[in-house]
Amino acid sequence: MTYDAYEQSDADGQPVELFDIAMGDTHWRLTSCGADYEYLGDTYEYEPCKCSELEQTGEIPKDGIDLELPINHPFGIICIAGTPEEEVTLIKYRGHGGFFETDFRGFLTSVKFNKIGAPVCKFEPRSSDLPSVGGRRRCMRLCGHKLYGYRCGLDKEDYKITGTIDSIDGVTITSSEFGDADIPEPEVYGDLTGLDGCIYAANLGTPSYAFDNSIRSGWSALSYTDNWITCQWTSSQTIKKIRIRPCVRLHSHSPGYDVGETNMKHFRVAGSNNGSDWTTIPVMQWFGNCHYYAGQGGSDTLVDLIIDPAEWIGVILDNDNAYTYYRIWVYDTWGGTSTLIVNEIEMIAADNTMDTYTFGAGGEIIVGTASRNIIAQVGDTITINRPFGSDVVADDPFSAYPGCAHTPGCCRDKFENWPNYGGQEFLPVKNPYTGNLIY
């Protein structure tokens, strides 16, 4: 059993938590999972213990956990006379069926006893024992690596461009070398299904209701298997992302409809330039209650995990080809015997207006010994963060370096440095109602 697999268990899929308390060479290993557990050759004995959630607070060094032990636990008895002078450490593991990750490492700072006499041990991370907070690398959605730094791995000199300034006016600098750089044409960002000339088709129902920018209407197909819906453009498009709004309750529904049963379950995406020969488009990433499904179609088939969702779901496609037709094939619905309904579909082109411009989004220009950040570029003109001094004039030589938006697309498409990407685009939350990030 792994985190990626759907689990139905007596514990409702609650992860196993293992606690390794160490004082010198003495270890107390316990678990709250209901039975003794073997991990890495050690036995974690079942004890009725309870651990608080790992919180993210404003005091980063003080973020810790409270571990409540049984009343007569041997370590708790040691603490009756006070917190041990010898250092006591804790390693907490969390996982499913043999697949574990280290959830917390820390040391004991205090012990108190609650109303029933059970010891409650306060453990804090190592950062709280350091003389100063300093910089701490933490998980974030965008890449946190410094461009051209050792974690990024790119050699700055490989991207250096030299030239002379044609004109300079405050924060605006023009040079032909900027215009000669490899700058792609900016692609349209956003839903392209509403462009003039779009033609919609489906095996059943009225497909235009899925492309009218309204979730108050929807495409209905009076079949629960093998449905499809297509958008056709007058010229080919490179679609990178598809967003789908599953069925929510519409005014047109009869009272007998079970909304969840009408939602798509498994689907794939295909492109064509003639409307008859279709090419399946692989999926690169999933979002909003979708994930990889190893059934029909393999890696390009998805499963919606929420029967009655109220939010958008969708996919990011591994697609560099331009097609005139894009089709979504829906294998089945969650109900199995009901109508398929989709409120809205958006087919989105790539956004490279910031990510792949050579010098924009964090580039750098150096004139003499003075350096400035490049915050934007349009053709052969750049905008810097603050002016140079009066001694920097036209015809002065410069060196310039491309910038990075720290997004997945910029890392992958602009620098081809995807293996070193340091962000977690789909960073989960422990509790979606509190927004407390896992880190």
CATH code of residue 302: 2.60.120.260
pLDDT tens digits, 163-198: 999 999 988 999 988 876 554 444 445 788 888 889
User: 167 and 113 in one domain?
Assistant: no
For residue 4, pLDDT over 80 is answered with: no
Judgement on whether residues 82 and 32 belong to the same structural domain of the protein: yes
377 and 415: one domain? yes
If asked whether residues 199 and 328 sit together in one domain, one would say yes
Question: Which residues lie closer than 8 Å to 188 by C-beta, 6 or more apart?
Answer: 349
Residue 338 confidence (pLDDT): 73
Q: What is the tens place of the pLDDT at every residue in 5-58?
A: 444 544 455 778 899 999 988 999 999 887 888 888 889 998 888 888 776 655
Which pLDDT value is given to residue 91? 92
**Taking 60 as the threshold, does the pLDDT of residue 256 lie above it?**
no
Q: What is the CATH number of the domain that holds 94?
A: 2.40.10
333 occurs within a structural domain: yes
pLDDT in tens, 138-165: 677 788 888 888 889 999 888 888 999 9
Q: What distance in Å separates the CA atoms of residue 364 and residue 155, rounded to the nearest whole number?
A: 14
pLDDT value, residue 260: 72
Residue 96 resides in a domain: yes
Looking at residue 5, its amino acid is A
Looking at the 3D structure of the chain, how many domains does it have?
3
Q: Under a CB-based contact definition with an 8 Å cutoff, are residues 411 and 417 in contact?
A: yes
Asked if the structure places residue 406 within a domain, the reply is yes
49 and 90 inside one domain: yes
pLDDT of residue 150: 84
Q: Are residues 249 and 334 in the same domain?
A: yes
Q: Do 343 and 237 sit in the same domain of this protein?
A: yes
Asked if 360 and 341 sit in the same domain, the reply is: no
pLDDT category at 380 given cuts 50, 70, 90 is confident
Q: Is 416 exposed, middle or buried (0-12, 13-18, 19+ CB in 10 A)?
A: exposed
Whole-number average pLDDT of the chain: 78
- Same-domain status, 36 and 56: yes
Whole-angstrom Cα distance, residue 280 to residue 358?
Answer: 32
> Within a domain: residue 312?
yes
382 lies in the same domain as 310: no
- Does residue 291 form part of some domain? yes
Q: What is the pTM of this model?
A: 0.42
**pLDDT score for 206:** 92
Residue 104 lies in a domain: yes
In one letter, which amino acid is 312? W
Q: What is the pLDDT of residue 297?
A: 45
Q: Report pLDDT digits (tens) over 395-415.
A: 999 999 988 878 777 787 778
340 and 256 part of one domain:
yes
Residue 308: predicted pLDDT: 47
Residue with tokens 């003109």: 381
Q: Which residues pair with 268 in a beta bridge?
A: 329
The answer to whether the CB of 422 falls within 8 A of the CB of 143 is yes
The CB density around residue 114, as the number of other CB atoms within 10 Å, is 10
Could you list the residue range(s) of the whole structural domain that residue 301 is in? 190-349
Q: Are residues 118 and 53 in the same domain?
A: yes
